[in-house]
Structure 1
Amino acid sequence: MLDGRFNQLSIFHVNIDIIRGSSLVINNKEKLPNLSSFVLYTAHYTNSYDKLIVPLLHRMTNLERLHLSFVGYVTKSFIDGNNLKQNIIYHMPLLKKFIFNIRSVWFDSPMNIPSTEDIQQTFKDLKDMHIISCVDYFQKEKYSQCLVYSYPYELKHYREITNQFPGGLFRCVREVSLHDEYPFEHEFFLRVARSFPLLEELTLINKKKQINRCIQNQNKHLPIIKYSHLIQLDLSEADQDYYEQFLFDTKTCLPNNLRVRMNYQSVKKVTRNFRRNTTRYNCIKIIHARFYNKFNFPEHLKDYFPNAYIC
């Protein structure tokens, strides 16, 4: 596309599944002087930031608007403000608007990685931009990640949210995934619900038990969390405590017509073999229940999920 055949192109939006290197020798370094707006979005991880993305951007010398969204593997350092300035911003003297959402994933990273505050400091001289940074280190899985994005947030999804999530208001977001090696407490879910008022799909991946579960169960004044627009909830990779978090009507008010993925044994224990009143009200609202690790269901299960297609 950018090999000279469209040298009058001024606006170019790219939504690509994956960016990866090739064994072909491509030596196209011709400038693209007429290109004023460029958008690059890719959903999958890439290790081609330095070899493909940066050289491509260097050809866009007259760019005025740039929007980048990708997840990149790194081996030496995160993609931070210094990196973006040296590799992108300083090469685009006409750049007026830079919107980005970049997650760096660093496997086998050292434990003394830069903190969130360290990363935020690398953006301090970009005074016209509101930028959010978030750094996480996953000791068990032996990798770290750094998310940097311009605010307000424009994507429809926000993935891999951890306890480091700073909050905010994300009206565009419809899909969220939560993942951490530390437990999520009730206050965290309250922050998530308030930050994503139009949330439709929620996936929770966390095998750590809640620390404050017993205290929360005894607290009758605990604010009940509402997910008014939620359509799909995935708890299949969550600890049993999070089934209580979402099914107890003293903690969460689920919307009607909900589709849920759950581990059968976890649901069975939390609902006390599908007879517990505290979880009954939310279960009635489910219209599609997909259970993992179970193929034959007891007859009374349908009574507990009267509106659900069970599979």
Structure 2
Amino acid sequence: MERFEDITNNFPGGLYPYVRIVSLYDEHPFEHEFFIRIAQSFPFMEKLTINNRYAQNQKESYKLINDKSNLSIVKYNYLIELYIDRAHDDYIEEFLCNTKTYFQNNILLDIHYKALERVTHNFTRDSTRINCMKVNELFLFGKLEYSKSCKDYFPFAIID
């Protein structure tokens, strides 16, 4: 099958090499370990949609662990489309921070402008800059005019 939709925290894992389109939905938070399991289960995933408005529970403990050691970085080698316009800021941070997530160049990113502004600290945050530079198409919701700092933060992106 090409699609696997509405995956929840109860997803047991497994290997699905033919799945290219994945959507995640839950009414409970997704933690970093869940994203590791998703990336391993769908190694050739090209499109990912996250629908979860609940904050991560282990975010603070993740920061403490990450400060003391190298926690696993989730790798999405084939991801080309990321839809996080219906996600809590924690998941936006999860994907945009290069200390948590790695993806190749040429990403289409679908996101709300205000959430992006918050997570990138008004387009000045260094830890999100690397992954944002990999975006080549940026679909922003909620604002008609974008700041120069936003355009500079996404130097290779066409902004719609």
Of 55, 58, 79 in structure 2, the residue corresponding to residue 230 of structure 1 is 79
CA shift, 1:295, in A, is 1.0
Tell me the equivalent position of 1:173: 19
1:290 aligns with 2:139: yes
CA shift, 1:197, in A, is 0.4
Give the 3-state SS of the residue equivalent to 1:205 in structure 2: strand
CA shift, 1:254, in A, is 1.9
Tell me the equivalent position of 2:105: 256
- The answer to which structure has the higher helix fraction is 2
**CA distance in structure 1 between the aligned counterparts of 2:137 and 2:62, rounded to whole angstroms:** 28
Query: C-alpha offsets along residues 214-250 of structure 1, whole Å, 9 cap, x if unaligned?
Result: 1112322210001000010000000011011000111
Give the 3-state SS of the residue equivalent to 1:300 in structure 2: helix
Of 177, 182, 189 in structure 1, the residue corresponding to residue 35 of structure 2 is 189
Of 230, 243, 255 in structure 1, the residue corresponding to residue 92 of structure 2 is 243
Unaligned 5+ segments in structure 1 are: 1-154
Amino acid at match of 1:190: I
Amino acid at match of 1:227: Y
Give the 3-state SS of the residue equivalent to 1:223 in structure 2: coil
User: Which TM-score applies when normalising by structure 2?
Assistant: 0.96
User: Which TM-score applies when normalising by structure 1?
Assistant: 0.50
**How many residue pairs were aligned?**
157
CA shift, 1:179, in A, is 0.1
**CA distance in structure 1 between the aligned counterparts of 2:121 and 2:114, rounded to whole angstroms:** 10
> For residues 106-255 of structure 1, what are the structure 2 equivalents within 5 Å?
155-220=1-66, 221-255=70-104
Percent identical pairs in the alignment equals: 44
Give the 3-state SS of the residue equivalent to 2:148 in structure 1: coil
Query: C-alpha offsets along residues 184-232 of structure 1, whole Å, 9 cap, x if unaligned?
Result: 0000000000000000000000000000111112322210001000010
**CA distance in structure 2 between the aligned counterparts of 1:218 and 1:228, rounded to whole angstroms:** 27
Larger Rg belongs to? 1
Amino acid at match of 2:134: K
Query: C-alpha offsets along residues 108-164 of structure 1, whole Å, 9 cap, x if unaligned?
Result: xxxxxxxxxxxxxxxxxxxxxxxxxxxxxxxxxxxxxxxxxxxxxxx1000000001
**CA distance in structure 1 between the aligned counterparts of 2:158 and 2:65, rounded to whole angstroms:** 34
**CA distance in structure 2 between the aligned counterparts of 1:302 and 1:255, rounded to whole angstroms:** 20
Amino acid at match of 1:234: Y
Unaligned 5+ segments in structure 2 are: none
CA shift, 1:294, in A, is 1.2
**CA distance in structure 2 between the aligned counterparts of 1:310 and 1:193, rounded to whole angstroms:** 27
| Alignment root-mean-square deviation, CA | 0.7
Contact 2:78 / 2:103 at 8 angstroms: preserved in 1?
no
Aligned structure 1 segments of 4 or more residues deviating by more than 6 angstroms? none
